[in-house]
Amino acid sequence: MAEFEVPVLSIKNLNKQFGKGCPYCQDEESLVKNYCPVCGTVYACRDVSFDVFPGEVLGIVGESGSGKSTLMQCLYFDQEVTNGEAYLADYHNGEKNLFQESSQQQRYIRNNIMGKVYQNPLLGLKMNFSSIGNIAEKLIAAGNQHVGMMENRGTELLNKVNIPVHRRKEAPKNFSGGMQQRVQIAKALSNRPPLLLLDEVTTGLDLSVQASVLDLIKSLQRELNISIVLVSHDLGVIRMLADRTLVMLEGRVIEQGLTDQILEDPQHRYTQQLVHSLL
């Protein structure tokens, strides 16, 4: 059957290796997990392909070291891919491979078509800037110049993520972990991107704060109909938010399916182990 909808993001055969590789590790069988014992090359992402469709949440699970975060860094151009292709429907009608665009164009894509929330707020925020200033930074990077408009947009966003208006000029370093994550989310949303990348956004937060961040993500997704790629090692988070899920192990996607398929009828040995570890 022909596809009945067009993906927002399409990733084809993404590979990322750290290190040059050597004749020994050309043969994948000789790797120890995804590491070459001879030259020390780490194959972080191996032949990863997937699509993200409008308005859906795609979950990515896997143990630490499985390549989830590296994949997200590649998608946001924080890392350069070794090879592979990525297409965004909102960028030249999905006809240009993002990974081959100039760094200037990649910056444009980052600032206009994508938003990212890092696990570590230090990577996503300037801790000494005011919160609203952090949002303005992204707006300016996207070419906005009108201060009044940016102030309004910033206030509106902070309001949306439940940061009290009177604290908008405070720096994130004064905020709790949950608040910092919410400022990051506000910043990521500032240019109304069709695609949001969330990398372990609730890891390390206490349960009630985690719940408020998850509720926020869910309601934003419903309201704005934004597409989300959500990386987490927490199956509870995945179950709550993701429509479809990829399972990664040693840099590869070993299984993918509807989230209830992954949770109730896992096929791969590792996925079964993961699901059965769920409390």
Partner 1 sequence: METLLEIKNLSKSFDLHNLGKHIRAVSSVDIQIKEGEFVGITGKSGSGKSTILKCIYGTYRIQQGSILYHSKKFGRINLAEATERELLYLRKHEIGYVSQFLNVMPRTTARQLVKQAILEMGDDHDLAEKETEKILAHFELDEELWDSYPTTFSGGEKLRLNIARAMVKKPRLLLLDEPTASLDHDSKIKVKLLIEQLMKEGTTMLGIFHDLEFMNHLCNQEYNIQNGVFSHSTSFTNS
What DSSP line would sit under 140-166, residue for residue? HHTT---HHHHHHHHHHHHHHTT--GG
Q: What contacts 24+ positions apart, CB below 8 Å, involve 250-259?
A: 250/33, 250/34, 250/46, 250/66, 250/67, 251/34, 251/43, 251/44, 251/45, 251/46, 251/48, 251/66, 251/67, 252/46, 252/47, 252/48, 252/67, 253/48, 253/49, 253/50, 256/50, 259/59
Stretch that binds partner 1, among 3-11, 126-134, 139-147, 197-205 (CB under 8 A): 3-11
Residue found under tokens 């070993």: 254
CB of 213 to partner 1, least distance (A): 12
Per-residue contact flags (x/-) with partner 1 for residues 192 to 211, judged by CB under 8 A: -------------------x
x/- site string to partner 1, residues 57 to 76, per CB under 8 A? --------------------
Under the binding rule (CB under 8 A), the answer on residue 53 touching partner 1 is yes
Residue with smaller CB distance to partner 1, 6 or 122: 6
Q: How many Cβ atoms are within 10 Å of 265's Cβ, its own excluded?
A: 12
Instruction: Measure the CA–CA gap between 268 and 259, rounded to whole angstroms.
Output: 14
20 or 269, CB closer to partner 1? Answer: 269
Residue in 29, 102, 104, 276 binding partner 1, rule: CB under 8 A:
276
Asked whether position 3 contacts partner 1 by CB under 8 A, the answer is: yes
* Rounded least distance, CB 227 to partner 1, Å: 12
Site for partner 1 in 210-269 (CB under 8 A): 211, 215, 218, 222, 240, 243-244, 256-258, 260-261, 264-265, 267-269
The H or E element containing residue 228 is strand 227-231
Which residues would be at the binding site for partner 1 (CB under 8 A)? 1, 3-5, 53, 56, 211, 215, 218, 222, 240, 243-244, 256-258, 260-261, 264-265, 267-269, 272-273, 276
